[in-house]
Every structure is written in structure tokens, then in C-alpha cells.
Amino acid sequence: MPKSIEIVEPLLRWWDHDHAELPWRESRDPYAIWVSEIMLQQTQITTVIPYYTRWMSRFPDVGTLASAPLADVLKLWEGLGYYSRGRNLHAAAQMVMAEFDGHIPTTVSELLRLKGIGRYTAGAIASIAFNQPEPVLDGNVIRVLSRLVDLSADVTINATKKQLWQLAADLVPQQRPGDYNQALMELGQTICLPANPKCLLCPLIDQCLARQRGTQHERPVRPLRKRTPHYDVVAGIIWQTAERSATAP
């Protein structure tokens, strides 16, 4: 397994020079980071940007969101899809006001109590907003880590997911964990692509075992989709006309 320092230093150098400028990266406001992470679930960055901008203008803080009617929240979410995300944000904001005195929790264990926040989102908020060395693991990070260590196990099974979470936790640095996690995710989005990875542009090319072994196109390993069987069927129609016999008088 690669050492953390072997991964962190080149990755952060790349991040400092090449990372994308996005509106939610303009501050370390935990509320802004939370909103962006929820919106980015199953939605492209380019789609999220205008929704995020409008949202932060209408609901600039957790208190404003918590006190807003749900109908207003869903109206602003309209067109973004997966409306349960908007409902969960609203419910979680009310929980923050009621149970955390209006302060967004700082630890993963407390963040996980909020509706709609799973392990990945909790780790992202804790590391980016509160500088805590917590790991993240989404599809992009799974792909990067699987290639980095040339993982030959099926990443969809629980045992492998547990292994990947542990690897992510072992690699996340004490210093700048939020930047590191964002760099890892952006690397998967822009360089370590599923079909045609841009290996020659990757800051981790020297550390990537899959690249060294020529298996990068085979990682991560997922089960083959079962093909729907196709049968050629020929159907015929037999049309039978009954003849009426005439009896002579």
C-alpha cells in the first residue's frame, strides 16, 4: 500500500495549481458546503451551479432555511430532481436549529444524525469545513483508489467497500484534509476517468500500480451486467373460413 505522504504531496501540488474555481469553494462555510454536497449528489456540476447560487441568495444560512415553508424550498429546488434531497435539507436544518442551537455539527457522528447526510457527505463537511482528517468515498474516489493499489476485488461488495474506506482513512492527511479530499474527487472527475483515463496528466502516475501493470482500464472491478436474452420468434396466423353448405330444396 502506498504511504500517505507519497500520495498527498503530489496531489496537493496538482490541486493548488489546477483545481476548478467553484462558488462553494469560495469559503469554508459549513452550510454552503453542506448545500453543495447535497445538490451534487447524482447531478452534474454545471447543472448545480445556478441552482446553488439561487439557493444561497434565498436561503443564505441554516436559520433562514429552517424557518422557510417547505413549499418555498421545493419550489426553488424545482428542476433539479430527486426532491427528497430538498425535503431532507429542510428537515435537517430544522433539526440543527432545535438540537444544535443553530450550529452545524462538527463531527462525523453528529453529522450522521441529520436527515439526508450519509457517511460520504459527513466526511466531506467535516474535512472541508472543519479541517478534520475524515475520509470520503464516492464513485470518483473509488476509481482513483482502486487503480492506485490495483484492487482486483469487486468494489460493489461490502467487504471491498470496507477495505476502500479503510484505505481512504489511512491516506487522508492531518494537514489540509479538506483540500486533499476535494483533490481526490476532482482527480476522478477530470483525469482518472472511467473509460479513457488521462494517465499522462495524472499527478499520481508514478504511484499508480494499475498504470504500472497496464490494468487501469480493468479497474475498478464491477460485476458484469447480465445480458437480456434475445430470442428470434416467428409467428404465423392460420385463418380458417367455415364453408356453409347449401341443401337443395
Of 130, 148, 183, at which residue does a domain stop? 130
Whether residue 126 is found in the same domain as residue 52 = yes
Q: Is residue 97 part of a domain?
A: yes
Confidence of residue 2 (pLDDT cuts 50, 70, 90): confident
Mean pLDDT of 105-123: 98
Residue range(s) defining the domain that contains residue 63: 29-130
Question: What's the pLDDT at 68?
Answer: 99
In DSSP terms, 221 is beta-bridged to: 154
Cα separation, 55 vs 237, in Å, equals 61
Of 103, 130, 157, at which residue does a domain stop? 130
The model's pTM is 0.89
Whether residue 65 is found in the same domain as residue 126 = yes
Whether residue 177 is found in the same domain as residue 117 = no
Whether residue 48 is found in the same domain as residue 77 = yes
Amino acid at 121: T
Confidence of residue 213 (pLDDT cuts 50, 70, 90): very high
Q: Is residue 231 part of a domain?
A: no
Q: What is the CATH number of the domain that holds 52?
A: 1.10.340.30
Q: Is residue 237 part of a domain?
A: no
Question: What's the pLDDT at 3?
Answer: 79
In DSSP terms, 154 is beta-bridged to: 221
CA geometry: angle 186, 190, 191, nearest 5 deg: 105
Mean pLDDT of 186-195: 98
Whether residue 196 is found in the same domain as residue 159 = yes
Give the catalytic positions in this structure. 37
Whether residue 138 is found in the same domain as residue 16 = yes
Q: Is residue 49 part of a domain?
A: yes
Whether residue 103 is found in the same domain as residue 142 = no
Cα separation, 219 vs 194, in Å, equals 8
Q: pLDDT tens digit string along 31-75?
A: 999 999 999 999 999 999 999 999 999 999 999 999 999 999 999
Cα separation, 127 vs 133, in Å, equals 6
| pLDDT at residue 245 greater than cutoff 80 | no
Q: Is residue 243 part of a domain?
A: no
Question: What's the pLDDT at 185?
Answer: 98
Q: What is the CATH number of the domain that holds 16?
A: 1.10.1670.10
Whether residue 54 is found in the same domain as residue 96 = yes
Whether residue 10 is found in the same domain as residue 62 = no
Whether residue 174 is found in the same domain as residue 215 = yes
Whether residue 108 is found in the same domain as residue 181 = no
Cα separation, 92 vs 230, in Å, equals 47
Whether residue 76 is found in the same domain as residue 158 = no
Is the model more confident about 248 or about 55? 55
Joined together, the cell numbers standing for residue 18 give 489546477
Q: Is residue 58 part of a domain?
A: yes
Q: Name the average pLDDT for the chain.
A: 93
| pLDDT at residue 243 greater than cutoff 80 | no
Q: Into how many domains does the chain fold? A: 2
Q: Is residue 235 part of a domain?
A: no
Confidence of residue 105 (pLDDT cuts 50, 70, 90): very high
Question: What's the pLDDT at 48?
Answer: 98
Residue 108: which residues within 8 A CB-CB, separation 6 or more?
A: 119, 122, 123, 126, 132, 134
DSSP letter assigned to residue 175: S
Q: Is residue 162 part of a domain?
A: yes
Q: pLDDT tens digit string along 129-165?
A: 999 999 999 999 999 999 999 999 999 999 999 999 9
| pLDDT at residue 1 greater than cutoff 80 | no
Of 130, 146, 165, at which residue does a domain stop? 130
Cα separation, 19 vs 25, in Å, equals 10
Nearest alpha carbon to residue 24 among 44, 45, 3: 45
Question: What's the pLDDT at 232?
Answer: 54
